[in-house]
């Protein structure tokens, strides 16, 4: 082989490695810049779906109105990515959901948790939460994961609840985020709780446009959508009931870094949590995902309507 060929090949190898490193570097920058420890503004994080970002904007807007300097850092990724950021202080506050957060912490600490109702889940969450975070009172507003199918699929197999999938699941394909491969509230839980073992699992996204597209287009038969997804009523989809509460109560709850906590912060966020309802969530998400409004504008109008701005 000529040296030129070898050099071209090595350059290619380096280019790929470089891209990989660059990608890693970027995500680090996003999480590390402007940490809250240095007395800068309080940083409210949002995960990679619209509702989380809207809630982050609502929190930040309410805090700013109350005189606490706050800014947002959105679209961060999955819980496995952003909770470490809360720990290292690059994020101070995160809109969370009681059930999934409890399960996440419980898995880390090795505690067993069993509650499925809102209060029980919340109490367990407080017990398993590590000392670097503080869980504030939860809102009645709730957004649960669901296994959702089209009306046609529901009719064909007479599906009302996830349990009805058990005899037919081996013929079906489920779509969901990559975390579902390994998480309890995913393939493992479906199998253990309902005996539902899908024939195939396709990684789509966490209740986003790719899952919806795949479901409407027939690439998957069932998909992970959130119950506040405005497309469920709009596209005549059926979110299967979850009688055994695989997906436990998922009330919206502010998760704050211990060092960033203050009584004023809690008081302000309590007002938000009290005012927020599940119907509000469906409506707010619809305005962002369907009407393509800006999450911040949508959050501001909600704050105004509820006298929190």
Partner 1 sequence: MNEVLAWLTDGANWQGPDGIPVRTYEHLLYTFIALAAASLIAIPLGLWVGHTGRGRFLAVNLTGGLRAIPSLGLLFAAVMVLGGVVHGDAGIFVPAELVLTILAVPPILAGAYAGVEEVDAAARDAARGMGMTGTEVLWQVEVPCALPLISSGLRSAALQVVATATIAASVSLGGLGRFLIDGLGQLDYPQMAGGAVLVALLALIVDLSGAALQRVVVSPGLTGKTGPSFRFRPRRAPVRAT
The pairing of strands 237-239 and 93-97 is unpaired
263-301 burial, b at 16+ Cβ within 10 Å, e below that, comes to eebbebbebbbebbebebbbebbbbbbeeeeebbebbbe
**What SS3 class is residue 263?**
helix
| Minimum distance from residue 210 beta carbon to partner 1 (Å) | 5
What are the DSSP calls for 5-47, one per residue?
HHHHHHHHHHHHHHHHHHHHHHHHHHHHTT-GGGS-PEEEE--
| Minimum distance from residue 2 beta carbon to partner 1 (Å) | 5
The pairing of strands 133-135 and 252-257 is antiparallel
Length of the chain: 309
Judge contact between 190 and 217, C-beta under 8 A: no
Q: 97 or 180, CB closer to partner 1?
A: 180
Q: 1 or 263, CB closer to partner 1?
A: 1
Q: 19 or 234, CB closer to partner 1?
A: 19
Q: 78 or 277, CB closer to partner 1?
A: 78
Judge contact between 217 and 136, C-beta under 8 A: no
Q: 8 or 140, CB closer to partner 1?
A: 8
> Hey, what are 295's tokens?
């999450």
| Minimum distance from residue 281 beta carbon to partner 1 (Å) | 23
| Minimum distance from residue 290 beta carbon to partner 1 (Å) | 14
| Minimum distance from residue 301 beta carbon to partner 1 (Å) | 27
> Hey, what are 55's tokens?
């809630």
- Which residues sit at the interface with partner 1, rule CB under 8 A? 1-5, 8-9, 12-13, 15-17, 19-20, 77-78, 80-81, 175, 177-179, 181-182, 200, 202-205, 209-210, 213-214, 217-219
| Minimum distance from residue 292 beta carbon to partner 1 (Å) | 12
| Minimum distance from residue 75 beta carbon to partner 1 (Å) | 13
Sign of the dihedral defined by the CA atoms of residues 182, 226, 299, 135, in that order? negative
Q: 87 or 200, CB closer to partner 1?
A: 200
């Amino acid at each position: 082989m000529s040296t030129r060929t070898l050099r071209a090949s090595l350059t290619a190898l380096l280019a790929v490695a470089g891209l990989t490193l660059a990608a890693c570097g970027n995500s680090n920058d996003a999480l590390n810049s402007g940490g809250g420890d240095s007395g800068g503004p309080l940083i409210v994080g949002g995960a990679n779906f619209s509702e989380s970002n809207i809630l982050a904007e609502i929190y930040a807007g309410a805090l700013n109105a109350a005189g606490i300097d706050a800014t947002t850092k959105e679209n961060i990724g999955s819980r496995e990515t952003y909770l470490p950021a809360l720990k290292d202080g690059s994020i101070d506050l995160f809109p969370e959901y009681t059930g999934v957060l409890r399960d996440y912490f419980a898995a880390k600490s090795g505690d067993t948790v069993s509650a499925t109702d809102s209060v029980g889940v919340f109490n367990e969450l407080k017990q398993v939460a590590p000392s670097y975070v503080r869980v504030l009172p939860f809102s009645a507003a709730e957004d649960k994961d669901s296994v959702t199918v089209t009306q046609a699929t529901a009719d064909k197999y007479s599906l009302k609840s996830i349990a009805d999938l058990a005899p037919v699941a081996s013929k079906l394909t489920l779509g969901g985020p990559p975390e579902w491969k390994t998480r309890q509230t995913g393939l493992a839980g479906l199998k253990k709780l309902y005996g539902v073992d899908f024939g195939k699992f396709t990684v789509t996204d966490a209740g986003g446009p790719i899952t919806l597209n795949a479901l409407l287009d027939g690439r998957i038969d069932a998909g992970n959508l959130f119950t506040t997804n405005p497309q469920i009523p709009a596209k005549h989809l059926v979110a299967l009931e979850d009688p055994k509460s695989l997906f436990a109560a998922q009330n919206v709850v502010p998760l704050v870094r211990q060092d960033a906590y203050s009584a004023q912060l809690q008081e302000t966020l309590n007002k938000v949590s009290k005012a927020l309802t599940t119907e509000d969530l469906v409506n707010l998400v619809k305005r962002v995902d369907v009407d393509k409004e800006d999450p911040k504008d949508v959050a501001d109008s909600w704050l105004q309507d509820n006298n929190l701005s």
